[in-house]
Structure 1
């Protein structure tokens, strides 16, 4: 049987503490991120009751009438409801694609670290808003954000080990990350109507930050990943496994040793007109004032990038996908 396009890695061996098992996990991660740039993980912190609880509350919000959701509307990168038509991820790749066929509820950490208070980077830690109509969303969302953040720290330690760096290399530069959670709802074809040929639930793009943690639902109009050969392949779905991928900042940090891989979410299928999906997405970032530059070690890949601040880079990428 051929190897799956996206490798499956059990983090139980990392948490177990055996040095040989931990080295094996780190080596598997390095191969995955050097190849497809994606991996599936089991043995993680995000338990089914937590994930089910977030979905239940999020679906209650997305089921509200547009007039009830409108007071919570925000721009891409804000906190609240990103309505249909507000975002076009393909634009980040220079593609002239129609707006993405999705809605999102987004939130992040509460409060900036002291060193950033009063600076331009404090804006990354804006106040969260929560819908009064769905009072359970706040607790469910915050629980998901906390658990995903802890898992992101674990993964960053694995990543550092995979590169032969001290385990705290990345976590020390992501001590107060302005992470964001997007609860992405993809309406069914019966709700969106006619779909343009070049329109997607999420257009082709790479993620912008360090890493992404995704809990997805299976579907015909689901996630696809672009291989190094330029072919689009369906991302495998394994019940209980999370999908992890690296973003542009980590690719820059590693000099393209690790790929920030293009991916997309297919349009709602006309032959399954009632298919609606809800993805839970945790975008992890470096501290916005951290300077990201290619590793000055043998672990780095062939590309030498100019240094950027994490916040400045992320800001430019978010602006590129915002529909005016």
Structure 2
């Protein structure tokens, strides 16, 4: 089956302004998609294209710096700063000990404290902003503010799709944690040929509630796992790609599927292909329990799990 049939495009403007029948039809489409591949595309999201374009430009200038300049910003998975080559191996999360992912990332996260010292020290510490990319901070802060609002709109839609009401999820996102990665996927001309079983990002599912992805199409791009196997994810320039993570799948009582995906290695037929994705991971308030699981204990265990052995 064409993956676009399994991954519908949902117009959030219609969700906001449509009548009862239109909203019910959209919610039914979302429910079907999340029972299948666990992915959607969304339009009507209100994010102007100039903002992600500016983030890419500023971030790329940082990524192209020598590693010695970037090294002071280096962090482990789950930290705030630069995730250099060999730091992350997403396939580890599902027990596949693949070679490290062929990417670099700049990673940021929620930083407004809740007032609990232990929680703040783990989940709400200040971000690190590279001095070599001075325009990055205001751009990322503007973008992540839009992403948080968008994610809550998506959670309201998901609450209705589940038949549980618009605030079923959002009452647990009053002071949530979130993460934001700018993922850079260099070409073979920079990283060389991939090792056997090596990807730009290895096969995995995300860990939280919803992930909102602004991506670029390419031969070494996003693939989604469906009942028919791996398939290239559909792409539309005006759409954002959304998938649900493990916590949301559990929150749905197993009705929905956490969206399994991977990013293909840099292609041999286009060795200079370079892509960049903006990935916003939305979670929930600290202390949230999802069907008996402490949400943030789970999130921390999964972040630890994808730290590449070579990064130790």
Q: Which moved more, 1:151-160 or 1:31-40?
A: 31-40
Residue pairs, 1:206-285, within 5 angstroms:
206-229=205-228, 231-285=229-283
Q: Answer whether contact 1:201 1:266 (CA < 8 A) is retained.
A: yes
Paired position in structure 1 for 2:99: 98
Q: CA deviation at 1:122?
A: 4.0
What's the CA shift string for 1:267-293, capped at 9, x where partnerless? Answer: 001110110000000000011210111
Q: Which residue of 1 aligns with 2:74?
A: 73
> SS state of the match for residue 169, structure 1?
helix
Rounded Cα–Cα distance in structure 2 between residues aligned with 1:241 and 1:120: 35
Q: How far has the Cα of 1:18 moved from its partner?
A: 2.4
Q: TM-score, normalised by structure 2?
A: 0.95
Q: Which residue number corresponds to residue 156 of structure 1?
A: 155
- Counterpart of 1:60 in structure 2 is 61
- 2:287 is the alignment partner of 1:315: no
Taking the aligned partners of 2:87 and 2:30, their CA distance within structure 1 comes to: 35
Residues 42 and 240 in structure 2, CA contact (< 8 A), matched pair in contact too: yes
Check if 1:187 corresponds to 2:154. no
Structure 2 counterpart of 1:83: 84
The offset of 1:64, in angstroms, is 1.3
For 1:77 and 1:17, the matched residues in 2 are separated by 39
Structure 1 position 249, deviation (Å)? 0.2
Question: Secondary structure of 2:171's partner?
Answer: helix
> The residue matched to 1:68 in structure 2 has which SS?
helix
Q: In the alignment, which residue of structure 2 is the partner of 1:132?
A: 131
> What TM-score results when the alignment is normalised by the length of structure 1?
0.92
Does the aligned pair in 2 maintain the 1:73–1:81 contact within 8 Å?
Answer: yes
- SS of structure 2 residue aligned to 1:106: strand
Question: CA–CA distance in 2 between the matches of 1:288 and 1:121?
Answer: 10
Deviation at 1:121, TM superposition (A): 5.9
Q: Aligned residues, how many?
A: 308
8 Å CA contact retained: 1:121, 1:289: no
The alignment yields a C-alpha RMSD, in angstroms, of 1.4
Instruction: Report Cα offsets for 1:157-187 as digits up to 9, x if no partner.
Output: 0001111212111111121111000000001
CA distance in 1, matches of 2:143, 2:182: 11
**Which residues of structure 2 form unaligned runs of 5+?**
none
8 A Cα contact 2:6 2:33, kept in partner: no
Note the residue ranges of structure 1 that are not aligned, 5 or more in a row: 294-306
- Cα distance in 1 for partners of 2:271, 2:176 equals 39
Question: How much does 1:194 deviate?
Answer: 2.6
Deviation at 1:262, TM superposition (A): 1.4
After superposition, the C-alpha distances for 1:105-126 in whole angstroms (9 at most, x for unaligned) are 0111222223xx2224641112
Distance in 1, Cα, partners of 2:189 & 2:166: 49
Residues in 2 aligned to 1:127 and 1:73: alpha-carbon distance in whole angstroms: 15
Task: Assess if the C-alpha contact under 8 Å between 2:59 and 2:136 holds in 1.
Answer: yes
Verify the 8 A CA contact 2:103 2:185 in the aligned structure 1: yes
Q: How far apart in 2 are the matches of 1:111 and 1:121?
A: 8
Within 1, Cα distance between the matches of 2:105 and 2:46? Answer: 24
